[in-house]
Structure 1
């Protein structure tokens, strides 16, 4: 039987004609690479140390947990082909797929998943998202260093079985989707330390492997031949491009340099719709944008009147209509609409008119000890982004017009910004926010728990708030849990520890030839589910 490649190679003239036709075959030129805008430079490619969207997007391509998400965001089998849960919900058992391998070809077994979970909870790892694994038995004690990692409630009774014991029943599979629960190749960690994430050293188990990393430019991935479903991965290479500036990202998309953007710049929605049509994808998103207030140093530490004045002086309707303008919803609370089992606390100021809020803001400003002769001098810090700069300028203008405050803006590259925000040494007011890791109000509120929590960048400390979160963590879904979470959020808002601004929408520009990009509440889009169409997409094309 004759095969086409052999016949072509035996006929050079035919081969030349075929090569000339290649550019005319729709989609073929795109089958090899997907170029994605990804926002700021990722802070790390260590799954256990990742805490932002930029690294999470890449890690979902490089690694796979026991479970994973399909394109629509549903939990589906990952490295584990199946799992069971005990009747009381406290013991889970995961059955690994046969023949799992790391990207270097070495075998991946249950004991390595166990060792990775122990590393994620070990205090020396300082995993910022470790709190989400707290329901695992002895996780708190291991994290505090009072118990050894071996005491963690995880075990491997055989090479293909991972057993996890919990302190309380939770939706464990949601938490196992997080990078902090991904397996890490520990021989590379032992040999290279923090440098194990570099090209040539990073070993993963996902659909792709790390091929190159050019700081402040791009991270390049190649298809992992050892991935258990490698045959179903259509796109050979993925390039994640640093796109801190949304306007520049848009230009690159228009020039054909990007196939998928991380966001779009703040422009009137009607104009964007008219220009891009169905290429523009806007969807509800479990995320909140706020301004954090450093409660550990003056002038905000011991001055609740000042904090209240700053909260009240911002016109969120103007910000969402004219600055962001892409369907964002003004926020007076922290947990976004759509969060599972959530009842937002009542916020009186949300029902006031703009005039009433401004009057109350001036009253609290005066009570805080400030006036025209003694204005507040304040610093507002944000990470590099067109949207963040416009928001910072608008907020500073509102504080100046309503209160008479003098605000200095500080723009920082992402890694520096994250370090300063976490240290709480030089920050006053700073860009903050949270994108849901799991669909649970607790995920948002826990970022403010415990003064020693690395995610608690405000330094908010309230024993009653922490107690309510601990109570909610062990309660099943229902009225009691909902009431505890509502009470906790009400305490946080009453303290004016944070300035809620808006609830996010996800917004992307997607090349019409790209298939498999599906909107979902967490805005997760693993490249393995995408492919290039044989022809440009149309409204009639399925």
Structure 2
């Protein structure tokens, strides 16, 4: 699970599983692309990175065994093909011949062995990876019972790699499409340590190389001349820019200095909506806007209270007044569009708003509170105008319906990400986006042993069902397990779902084949430009 820093507002023109502008009549006269963002730019070790922008950059400069393309499909990457043994426990990957690192040295299966083993070292282990759950000896290595060299990953020769599983799993290929599994060059890491990722030091294997990084405000990538498919890359250079002011970014866009505005937030900007409606792309993503409740603290360990707080929120009205109907109200725990999802809706979902309010009041009283003896609650969120507007609306619902007294505080987002379970909070706003298009990606975060279980939720029955989801390969049985897990979460309600997220992009007419998948990533190597 990756974390988001902001949420964006935008006008919508169409809905699809991914966003795409079809190409025709292209030429290569324009070969530089400029993309604007509304959040600070980051670079990072692919085996440690947990920020969306960092992951996006790593997908351009590194390449794994398999690739998640802009259409959301798993396609060959560094491996040109693979097969699975009859027992479903051994994957064999056949790497492309004569592959190179960006310094011109040979890239082999041994580099992938080193990099996947590196994931399991104590100072690197990525909390988002699921590989420890099903690669042979993964758990034992993390517990210090076996050496990293015993991990079930083996280079048969320079071009053939095998991965051995403890049990068959339906999510290995999706997991291998994550940047956490991308190869890093051993001698480069050992020479520079944590600084190996810097432009002056980095050696990578993706379609682009990192040329410049400037204070979180600009990243420049150039084509990797040693990339196996370099001749197919139309874009020679791409610049990523950070702007906190939409007006400045929009001015650059209309003057042709910016080609794409990513995750644009133009709510209230009628000029943009009216003039550029044909250039606006809407992408529903596998992400959610949630209020996490610290279930380890009284009185929030009372699920009647948690239910009352959730029911009191009028999501439809919140979407209309704050988001101008640009997001999707969410009543369960799975964002729209996940594969094999079978969500459980709350028992009150089809009730009238009046009946919902009566139920919220009843549960609030049963939890020991009333307007005479109100709950006092502190809501934490990242410092943004949008989050403040949402928090104000929700606190008004709670006050007007239940009598809750709400206090607000700002939280440092990056501190939360680094130490999510050590933060002291009562209720905290969190946005998450899937690493892979699979239900397990969301359910696993709420298991009792998961370090990303921010709400400190514990339910042994839930843990068991989620473990079964990971290993069940029958899609019908897996879908039923998904529903069971959803029912348990809906009953216990450790988090309050609010929205299933929708992203929006402003794209110049001369930009073609810009595809953004449901986990909010795209490949510059797929983009084409027409002379403008």
Give the TM bin, normalised by the shorter chain: 0.7 to 0.9
Match of 2:483 among 478, 483, 486: 486
Give the match's secondary structure for 1:525. coil
* Structure 1 contact 199–212 (Cα < 8 Å) conserved: yes
Give the deviation of 1:141 after TM superposition. 2.2
Q: Which whole-Å deviations, capped at 9, do the CAs of 1:211-252 have from their partners, x for residues lacking one? A: 222233122222222211222222122222235666765555
Give the deviation of 1:347 after TM superposition. 1.5
Q: Which whole-Å deviations, capped at 9, do the CAs of 1:382-411 have from their partners, x for residues lacking one? A: 234443333223222322322232323333
Following the alignment from structure 1 to structure 2, what is the Cα–Cα distance between the partners of residues 202 and 80? 22
Following the alignment from structure 1 to structure 2, what is the Cα–Cα distance between the partners of residues 135 and 248? 48
Q: Which whole-Å deviations, capped at 9, do the CAs of 1:185-232 have from their partners, x for residues lacking one? A: 232332333232222122221111112222331222222222112222
Could you tell me which runs of 5 or more consecutive residues in structure 1 were left unpaired when the two chains were aligned. Answer: 1-25, 536-542
Give the deviation of 1:118 after TM superposition. 0.8
Partner of 2:137: 138
Aligned residues: 507
Partner of 1:467: 464
Following the alignment from structure 1 to structure 2, what is the Cα–Cα distance between the partners of residues 269 and 496? 37
Task: Check if 1:332 corresponds to 2:331.
Answer: yes
Following the alignment from structure 2 to structure 1, what is the Cα–Cα distance between the partners of residues 433 and 124? 23
Following the alignment from structure 2 to structure 1, what is the Cα–Cα distance between the partners of residues 246 and 145? 46
Closer/same/farther in 2, CA of residues 165 and 248 from structure 1, 3 Å limit: farther
Give the match's secondary structure for 2:410. strand
Give the deviation of 1:311 after TM superposition. 1.0
Following the alignment from structure 2 to structure 1, what is the Cα–Cα distance between the partners of residues 435 and 85? 25
Following the alignment from structure 1 to structure 2, what is the Cα–Cα distance between the partners of residues 518 and 503? 20
Partner of 2:116: 117
Higher RCO (CA 8 Å, separation ≥ 6 residues): 2
Closer/same/farther in 2, CA of residues 269 and 161 from structure 1, 3 Å limit: farther
Closer/same/farther in 2, CA of residues 212 and 254 from structure 1, 3 Å limit: same
Structure number with bigger Rg? 1
Give the deviation of 1:183 after TM superposition. 0.8
Partner of 1:344: 343
Closer/same/farther in 2, CA of residues 490 and 349 from structure 1, 3 Å limit: same
Closer/same/farther in 2, CA of residues 87 and 209 from structure 1, 3 Å limit: same
Closer/same/farther in 2, CA of residues 105 and 298 from structure 1, 3 Å limit: farther
Moved more, 500-509 or 186-195: 186-195
Following the alignment from structure 2 to structure 1, what is the Cα–Cα distance between the partners of residues 380 and 54? 22
Partner of 1:522: 519
Give the match's secondary structure for 2:358. helix
Closer/same/farther in 2, CA of residues 276 and 171 from structure 1, 3 Å limit: same
Following the alignment from structure 1 to structure 2, what is the Cα–Cα distance between the partners of residues 395 and 511? 37
Task: Check if 1:450 corresponds to 2:462.
Answer: no
Give the deviation of 1:329 after TM superposition. 2.2
Partner of 2:7: none
* Structure 2 contact 447–458 (Cα < 8 Å) conserved: yes
Q: Which whole-Å deviations, capped at 9, do the CAs of 1:80-114 have from their partners, x for residues lacking one? A: 12212222322111111122122222221111101
Give the deviation of 1:327 after TM superposition. 4.4
Following the alignment from structure 1 to structure 2, what is the Cα–Cα distance between the partners of residues 307 and 245? 37
Following the alignment from structure 2 to structure 1, what is the Cα–Cα distance between the partners of residues 351 and 152? 50
Partner of 2:231: 231
Task: Check if 1:217 corresponds to 2:217.
Answer: yes
Partner of 2:10: none
Partner of 1:82: 81
Following the alignment from structure 1 to structure 2, what is the Cα–Cα distance between the partners of residues 77 and 55? 22
Closer/same/farther in 2, CA of residues 513 and 194 from structure 1, 3 Å limit: same
Structure with higher helix content:
1
Give the deviation of 1:481 after TM superposition. 1.7
Give the deviation of 1:417 after TM superposition. 4.1
Partner of 1:499: 496
Give the deviation of 1:271 after TM superposition. 7.9
1:32-71 → structure 2 map (5 Å cutoff):
32-42=31-41, 44-71=43-70
Q: Which whole-Å deviations, capped at 9, do the CAs of 1:449-470 have from their partners, x for residues lacking one? A: 134x222221112211111111
Following the alignment from structure 1 to structure 2, what is the Cα–Cα distance between the partners of residues 491 and 66? 36
Give the deviation of 1:307 after TM superposition. 1.6
Moved more, 99-108 or 131-140: 131-140
Partner of 2:424: 426
* Structure 2 contact 29–531 (Cα < 8 Å) conserved: no
Closer/same/farther in 2, CA of residues 139 and 37 from structure 1, 3 Å limit: farther
* Structure 1 contact 292–430 (Cα < 8 Å) conserved: yes
Could you tell me which runs of 5 or more consecutive residues in structure 2 were left unpaired when the two chains were aligned. Answer: 1-24
* Structure 2 contact 131–138 (Cα < 8 Å) conserved: no
Closer/same/farther in 2, CA of residues 245 and 138 from structure 1, 3 Å limit: farther
1:2-401 → structure 2 map (5 Å cutoff):
31-42=30-41, 44-132=43-131, 134-169=133-168, 170-243=170-243, 250=250, 253-254=253-254, 256-265=256-265, 267=267, 273-300=273-300, 302-325=301-324, 327-401=326-400
Following the alignment from structure 2 to structure 1, what is the Cα–Cα distance between the partners of residues 202 and 317? 46
Partner of 1:11: none
Give the match's secondary structure for 1:351. coil
Give the match's secondary structure for 1:267. coil
Give the match's secondary structure for 1:48. coil
Task: Check if 1:533 corresponds to 2:530.
Answer: yes
* Structure 1 contact 41–414 (Cα < 8 Å) conserved: no
Following the alignment from structure 2 to structure 1, what is the Cα–Cα distance between the partners of residues 271 and 403? 35
Following the alignment from structure 1 to structure 2, what is the Cα–Cα distance between the partners of residues 358 and 515? 49
* Structure 2 contact 28–529 (Cα < 8 Å) conserved: no
Following the alignment from structure 2 to structure 1, what is the Cα–Cα distance between the partners of residues 243 and 486? 34
Give the deviation of 1:443 after TM superposition. 1.1
The two structures, once aligned, show a CA RMSD in angstroms of: 2.7
